[in-house]
Chains A and B, each alone.
Chain A
Amino acid sequence: DAKTTQPNSMESNEEEPVHLPCNHSTISGTDYIHWYRQLPSQGPEYVIHGLTSNVNNRMASLAIAEDRKSSTLILHRATLRDAAVYYCIPPDSNSGYALNFGKGTSLLVTP
């Protein structure tokens, strides 16, 4: 099972870019890296996922290191609604699906 390391918390000003890092040094070569976020009192929601190349969607961008041992979720302009816990999830290498989510990074956005 790939292990991940994320900072417990980060803070950003509104409308500033936010870079949320994740280390996943034990990830296998074929595992996608998924990011989810959990707003207060809600279930997690999908943000983005990628394998090797950088990925963009309407919510965020994902920059994946060349050695795939780390990735960074980029919110280009943080809003107050982006305040949430962000989870970096590689799937379990045996089962192929997500097992335990760690504590993630709690993002605080200030006006």
Chain B
Amino acid sequence: GAGVSQSPSNKVTEKGKDVELRCDPISGHTALYWYRQSLGQGLEFLIYFQGNSAPDKSGLPSDRFSAERTGGSVSTLTIQRTQQEDSAVYLCASDSGGGGELFFGEGSRLTVL
């Protein structure tokens, strides 16, 4: 596609439920990032994928959070047993590798009731 695509754009869930957020990066981009942005805050790094290398998971806040990237393209961020503090906008970005310009999606807004 022309840009980074994320779905769903909005997700409302109940505390304790699992959620999956999807990111489709720009075609050919080898690097993919997930960030979290809580209300009124900056972006918090979660995880980074680069090609076939092991992902950098150093930003994941707990073991309830996990992400995978299948076939070097689409990525899914999974949050298990959601908590109210997980409510935030989850942003995905991709680049062509080498730490260049990041292209962001519109984000997935998660609300945990």
Contacts and interface: CB of A to CB of B under 8 A. Distances in A.
A58 B107 CA distance: 26
Contact of B43 (A44, A95, A96): A44
Interface stretch (A12-20, A21-29, A66-74, A101-109): A101-109
A12 B69 CA distance: 43
Interface in B45-62: 45, 48, 56, 59
Contact of B106 (A43, A99, A102): A43
A98 B42 contact: no
A36 B43 CA distance: 12
Contact of B42 (A45, A87, A91): A87
Given A45-B104, A97-B31, A91 B99 contact: yes
A100 B93 contact: no
Nearest to A97: B99
Interface string A48-73: 01000000000000000000000000
Contact of A95 (B56, B91, B103): B56
B42 A103 contact: yes
B90 to A, nearest CB: 10
Interface string B81-113: 000000000010100000101111111000000
A18 B31 CA distance: 33
Contacts of A45: 104
A98 B102 contact: yes
Contacts of B70: none
Given A100-B42, A103-B42, A43 B107 contact: yes
Contacts of B105: 43
A96 B100 CA distance: 10
A102 B98 CA distance: 22
18 contacts: A43-B91, A43-B105, A43-B106, A43-B107, A44-B93, A44-B104, A46-B101, A46-B103, A87-B42, A95-B56, A97-B31, A97-B33, A97-B99, A98-B33, A99-B45, A100-B45, A102-B42, A103-B40
